[in-house]
Amino acid sequence: MTDRLITHLRHVDLAVPDHAKQLDFFTGTWGLTAEHSDTGLTFLAAEGSPEQYVVRLRQSDDKRIDLIAFGAASASHVDALAAQLGRDGVGLISEPGALATPGGGYGFRFFDLEGRTVEISSDVAVRAHRKIEEGESIPVRLSHVVVNSASPEATVAWYQRHLGFALSDTLTHPHMGEMMWFLRINSWHHSLGVARCPHPSLHHASFELRGIDEYMRGTGRLLRAGVEKIWGPGRHLAGNNTFSYFLDPHGNTVEYTTELERVDEDAWHPHLYDFTQPGVADQWGTANQMNEFVATKSFNDPDRGMFSAPPV
């Protein structure tokens, strides 16, 4: 396996046809803070996170994942990873250099196996952030991103080989086989997930809240606001985290979660969980049943941005 040269998840960047509607949802309902805005472009921060932003929104005719960004410890690690990817035949979108996005830094971009744009960066300025207070039901940080893949086994192997991700757990179905893989880049149970799907797309983006009370308050606030909930509230077995899944105005699935498991990487052995077992999908038994409706919603629309680098 590749030496681990990346450290953590930074942000997920989305392109949407109605920037204003999506921005209103993320700031007025979801609890993110808009900063560094321009016409049709907004960087959204989580008040508890040192990252300059955790979501970037861009106005576009095409609905897509613009990119997924990860951090590295140093510029030398950025350079080493870029050189390594080049030797392995991975197509670089840009060579390592100064970044023009908020917080600056040093980084580069490349396509993953299915054509998603990935960015690796170091030396990004730390954002002035704060401790989220008791009862405050807004995101502390971006927890993880799960992508849909038409070639999930190959995609998982690609991230393991080229970026040093480790497998934490796998969800399986007795008739359909392995369906979802949870990958970690640090002690968090997963920062990236890969789900089997007919087409590449965003499965969901997950946001960590302060604790159980804040998670439930946030879930209730969205329900009162009339946001469509597709699954939850409950607690998964893989990762041991809580979940409430909602649809944003463009049909992307976004999740409130808390208490994602921290694993002992030296001692951890991946599990194979049958998610048709009630206690696997939801340990609490409080969520609505996982069924074709929920699964289909999470398939999302096919991503229109494969092997097409975003303009920003």
| Same domain? 295 vs 146 | yes
| Same domain? 170 vs 268 | yes
Instruction: For residue 135, tell me if it sits in a domain.
Output: no
Cα separation, 159 vs 214, in Å, equals: 33
Cα separation, 10 vs 17, in Å, equals: 24
Instruction: For residue 194, tell me if it sits in a domain.
Output: yes
pLDDT band at residue 1 using 50, 70 and 90 as cut-offs = very low
pLDDT band at residue 293 using 50, 70 and 90 as cut-offs = confident
> Domain range for residue 217?
141-299
DSSP class of residue 160 equals H
Q: Read off the tokens for 71.
A: 């951090």
pLDDT band at residue 9 using 50, 70 and 90 as cut-offs = very high
Domain boundary among 91, 122, 153: 122
| Same domain? 86 vs 178 | no
CA 195 to chain centroid, in Å, comes to 12
Q: Which amino acid is at 183?
A: L
| Same domain? 105 vs 167 | no
CA 224 to chain centroid, in Å, comes to 25
Instruction: For residue 307, tell me if it sits in a domain.
Output: no
pLDDT band at residue 290 using 50, 70 and 90 as cut-offs = confident
Q: How far is CA 15 from CA 92, 208, 251, 266, in A?
A: 21, 22, 12, 38
Instruction: For residue 274, tell me if it sits in a domain.
Output: yes
User: Number of structural domains, the chain?
Assistant: 2
pLDDT in tens, 135-160: 999 999 999 999 999 999 999 999 99
Can you name the residues that pair with 55 across neighbouring β-strands? Answer: 12, 44
pLDDT band at residue 262 using 50, 70 and 90 as cut-offs = very high
| Same domain? 146 vs 295 | yes
Cα separation, 217 vs 113, in Å, equals: 39
- Write a three-state SS string for 26-80: HHHHHCCEEEEEECCEEEEECCCCCCCCCEEEEECCCCEEEEEEEEECCHHHHHH
Percent of the chain with pLDDT over 90: 93
Say whether pLDDT at 2 is over 60: no
pLDDT in tens, 32-89: 999 988 889 999 999 999 999 999 999 999 999 999 999 999 999 999 999 999 999 9
CATH number of the domain enclosing 61: 3.10.180.10
| Same domain? 164 vs 83 | no
Say whether pLDDT at 134 is over 60: yes
Can you name the residues that pair with 273 across neighbouring β-strands? Answer: 171
Per-chain mean pLDDT for the chain: 96
Instruction: For residue 304, tell me if it sits in a domain.
Output: no
Residue 28 · residue 178 · CB < 8 Å: no
Instruction: For residue 196, tell me if it sits in a domain.
Output: yes
| Same domain? 104 vs 208 | no
Q: Which residues of 5-40 are buried (b: 16+ CB within 10 A; e: fewer)?
A: bbbebbbbbbbbeebeebbebbeebbbbbbeeeeee
Instruction: For residue 308, tell me if it sits in a domain.
Output: no
| Same domain? 97 vs 164 | no
| Same domain? 97 vs 149 | no
Average pLDDT over residues 225-236: 97
